[in-house]
Copies of this chain bind each other. A is one copy, B any other.
Amino acid sequence: MDASTLQLIILPAGVIAVLFALYLARDVLSRDTGTREMAEVAGTIYEGAIAFIRRQYTTIALLALVGAVVIGAVITWVENSAEVAGTDVFGVELGIRTAIAFLVGAACSMASGIIGMYISVRSNLRTAAAARHSLVGAVQVAMRGGAVSGFLVVALSLLGVYLIFVAMGGLEKPAQAPFLIVGYGFGASFVALFAQLGGGIYTKAADVGSDLVGKVEAGIPEDDPRNAGVVADLVGDNVGDCAGRGADLFESTAAENIGAMILGVSVYAIALSAGWPNPESWIFFPLVVRAFGLLATIVAIFFVRGREDEDPMNMLNRGYWVTTILSVAALALVTNVMMQTPGQTGANGLPTWLFFFGAGVVGLATSVVFVYITQYYTSGSFRPVREIATASKTGPATNIISGTAVGFETTFATAISIGIALLVSHWLGEQAGLLTADGTNVGGVFGTAVATMGMLMTTAYILAMDTFGPITDNAGGIAEFSRAEAQAREITDRLDAVGNTTKALTKGYAIASASLAAFLLFSAYIDKVNLILGSRGEPLMTSVNLADVGVFVAALIAAMLVYFFSSLAIRAVGTTAQSIIVEVRRQFREMPGIMDYSQRPDYARVVDITTRAALRQMVLPGLVAVGTPIVVGILLGYQAVAGLLMVGTIAGVLLATVLNNGGGAWDNAKKYIESGHLLDDDGNVIGKKTPAHAAAVVGDTVGDPFKDTAGPSLHVLVKLLATITLVLAPLFIR
């Protein structure tokens, strides 16, 4: 098989994945919908979620339209401005093309979000219904529902990038087109930022708000149907975890593909001058790898099965390992076929492709390592969570101090793993021996790009596991709310616990991919800047010099930005929660029949109020995120923006780790106490309704906006910094 044949797989693989998603959707929708009560609650959740998504995506679409016009106008102005000329290196109307690519990227991201969300709020009911009969059945419904999102997100991203690449003339001028499609990645990040922010604010405001007014003030249990905020809480699980993370990973796969293609351009030039066969295969490589990742995931979905008495996590893990092993095999095939370098070998006479195969395996291995790091820090089986649970014995203050220490500590394993992955994949790439005409070794950076591609091969599966989380969470809520049989509730409880783990794992995965990708996107930015500088005969940018005062100040601002942005996101949760509290209080006051079940609370109104408040609150942090790199770029120049991008990535990734893992650990410390694992000095169980449990609940509540609003929004912020600078590079070169 030769490389040009292998390239043909991109389109069919994408289409197959979409068809498979549709098959899964049909399969899920055809399943039993349980009792009438179940269907009723599920209907309310469905309506609330769809109402939120409709209104949110209308807002985002408007913002995206404005964004597209501004981007188009600015780049066109730069193109036509004599002083800042140089973008005509591309010989096309870059402004209009970028604006169109931006809109297509935004639209694809929104489409995959909406469809995935639609299936997920349909799957929750079917999962609850299946849980009445069988654990395996419930796992399968939830996982297949989740996989619809997973496949659509990755396949739409792949097809979108490929088609826009072709539309921009990628088949004729493969070396030029990658630079023309960066707008697609920016469109995806733009949508992801607001989807994650709005969803994240909604979900935690609903959670915190209805808990405070229900449990604390009215003294009724969690998820009690008398609490008017309960439905908003269940809706929140979908719009935050499911739609938000989908947009996050859509963005990753899109932007990182484009970045890797840009890096492929330098190797393409080498291949061309060396007369290697199919030089364009170096540019298509990321798309082909992604296509194989989709096919591997399709196979893996059929391995999600097991015995009724098996730990559901084992069933999911089985599929994950199948995906990983198939991905390694596919990676060997793709690197071997597409990286043909006749007459040239890497270090020690080994073939060049072997080094890149190694780099890809490093990427896959890194994602496995992150799965274990996340488990260690957020599962009740290990020291960190137990330490927090023990600290709860002396009250909420020691619980918070201990959780903060754990959150801070998690940065250690995270940074060391990322550091090793970067150094090893870079070193492997350097050994491959890809030298440009002037002797520059471009293999190192390309090695990190291949590692990122390797890691992202399992994205569809990871995303399916992630969406499994809100589906089972909702299934549990539906079972509780509709007073389903004990067996069904027991099964949904077990699945819910597994879902908490898979949600935490996805965040670890998103962080790892963002960090590896940073290096690649950053290098793509330098390539683009140098293309422009070169065309103007100006000296190229050979380094991002931290000793330059502008770069240093930009780095300082970047590290500040991640705190400031998180502060705004966390505060937005508080403000939104306040509106919920006011409304639920009003309903308790004005509808006295609620407490004795004779009146039904107005759930829809709370959903509506939360929706409007969350959307209002997402705008300020969103604009700060978009505006900062632009302002810094204009004031301090293109080199400073590169510093902003790199240090912002480092700071954002680490703060997100602290917030996600700290929040996860607090959550599970509470669960650890609730499941009766905490003992006092005499060996008696310290369980629910003890002061220690109350202290652990405080930690859990504090962790909520950390791990579900600020942390995940930071992943997107980091990638947005990369795409925004890549798109607006011409503006920063003066």
Contact partners of A557 in chain B: CB under 8 A: 415-416, 419
Task: Judge whether B646 and A400 touch: CB under 8 Å.
Answer: no
Convert A263-303 into 0s and 1s, putting 1 for each residue whose CB lies closer than 8 angstroms to a CB of B: 00000000000000000000000000000000000000000
Cβ of A58 under 8 Å from chain B: no
Task: Give the contact stretch, choosing among A176-184, A560-568, A720-728.
Answer: A560-568
Least CB distance from A124 to B in Å reads 27
Distance in angstroms between the alpha carbons of A526 and B547 in the assembled complex:
9
Contact partners of A34 in chain B: CB under 8 A: none
Cβ of A643 under 8 Å from chain B: yes
Convert A132-162 into 0s and 1s, putting 1 for each residue whose CB lies closer than 8 angstroms to a CB of B: 0000000000000000000000000000000
Distance in angstroms between the alpha carbons of A727 and B647 in the assembled complex:
26
Task: Judge whether B212 and A398 touch: CB under 8 Å.
Answer: yes
Task: Give the contact stretch, choosing among A328-336, A345-353, A401-409, A491-499.
Answer: A401-409
Cβ of A471 under 8 Å from chain B: no
Residues A570 and B411 in contact in the complex (CB < 8 Å), given A422-B549, A523-B547: no
Residues A563 and B650 in contact in the complex (CB < 8 Å), given A212-B394, A543-B543, A549-B444: no
Task: Give the contact stretch, choosing among A95-103, A242-250, A612-620, A697-705.
Answer: A697-705
Task: Judge whether A395 and B216 touch: CB under 8 Å.
Answer: yes
Q: Pick from B426, B556, B650: contact of A556, CB below 8 A.
A: B650
Convert A689-717 into 0s and 1s, putting 1 for each residue whose CB lies closer than 8 angstroms to a CB of B: 00000000110011001100000000000
Smallest CB gap from A412: residue in B? B564
Residues A651 and B545 in contact in the complex (CB < 8 Å), given A422-B552, A567-B408, A698-B698: no
Contact partners of A701 in chain B: CB under 8 A: 397-398, 401
Task: Judge whether A546 and B642 touch: CB under 8 Å.
Answer: yes
Cβ of A423 under 8 Å from chain B: yes
List A residues 636-673 near B (Cβ within 8 Å): 642-643, 646-647, 650-651, 654, 658
Task: Judge whether B574 and A402 touch: CB under 8 Å.
Answer: yes
Distance in angstroms between the alpha carbons of A122 and B726 in the assembled complex:
62
Cβ of A544 under 8 Å from chain B: yes
Q: Pick from B409, B543, B560: contact of A654, CB below 8 A.
A: B560
Distance in angstroms between the alpha carbons of A116 and B406 in the assembled complex:
36
Smallest CB gap from A204: residue in B? B401
Distance in angstroms between the alpha carbons of A140 and B404 in the assembled complex:
40
Contact partners of A411 in chain B: CB under 8 A: 559-560, 563-564
Smallest CB gap from A419: residue in B? B553
Task: Judge whether B395 and A212 touch: CB under 8 Å.
Answer: yes
Cβ of A418 under 8 Å from chain B: yes
Task: Judge whether B547 and A405 touch: CB under 8 Å.
Answer: no
Contact partners of A406 in chain B: CB under 8 A: 567
Q: Which range contains the number of A residues in contact with the other chain?
A: 35 or more
Cβ of A391 under 8 Å from chain B: yes
Distance in angstroms between the alpha carbons of A345 and B216 in the assembled complex:
71
Smallest CB gap from A553: residue in B? B419
Least CB distance from A515 to B in Å reads 8
Task: Judge whether A658 and B546 touch: CB under 8 Å.
Answer: no
Cβ of A571 under 8 Å from chain B: yes
Contact partners of A581 in chain B: CB under 8 A: 394
Q: Is the interface of A mostly helix, strand, loop or mixed?
A: helix
Contact partners of A52 in chain B: CB under 8 A: none
Distance in angstroms between the alpha carbons of A522 and B555 in the assembled complex:
15
Contact partners of A502 in chain B: CB under 8 A: none
Cβ of A458 under 8 Å from chain B: no
Task: Judge whether B556 and A419 touch: CB under 8 Å.
Answer: yes
Contact partners of A542 in chain B: CB under 8 A: 545
Task: Judge whether A698 and B397 touch: CB under 8 Å.
Answer: yes
Least CB distance from A561 to B in Å reads 8
Task: Judge whether A397 and B556 touch: CB under 8 Å.
Answer: no
Contact partners of A395 in chain B: CB under 8 A: 212, 216, 698
Distance in angstroms between the alpha carbons of A549 and B398 in the assembled complex:
39
Contact partners of A400 in chain B: CB under 8 A: 400, 698, 702
Smallest CB gap from A658: residue in B? B563
List A residues 489-544 near B (Cβ within 8 Å): 515, 519, 522-523, 526, 542-544
Cβ of A448 under 8 Å from chain B: yes
Q: Pick from B408, B445, B543, B570: contact of A566, CB below 8 A.
A: B408
Least CB distance from A571 to B in Å reads 5
Instruction: List 16 interface pairs A-B (beta carbons < 8 Å), by A numbering.
Output: A396-B396, A397-B697, A397-B701, A401-B573, A401-B705, A402-B571, A404-B706, A409-B563, A415-B559, A419-B556, A543-B545, A546-B643, A552-B646, A555-B650, A563-B654, A650-B651
Inter-chain pairs besides A408-B566, A408-B570, 19 sampled, C-beta below 8 Å: A216-B395, A396-B698, A400-B698, A400-B702, A408-B563, A408-B567, A409-B564, A411-B563, A412-B567, A414-B560, A419-B556, A422-B552, A423-B550, A423-B553, A448-B549, A523-B547, A544-B547, A647-B647, A651-B654
User: Which positions in A face B, CB cutoff 8 Å?
Assistant: 208, 212, 216, 391, 394-398, 400-402, 404-409, 411-412, 414-416, 418-419, 422-423, 426, 444-445, 448, 515, 519, 522-523, 526, 542-553, 555-557, 559-560, 563-564, 566-567, 570-571, 573-574, 581, 642-643, 646-647, 650-651, 654, 658, 697-698, 701-702, 705-706
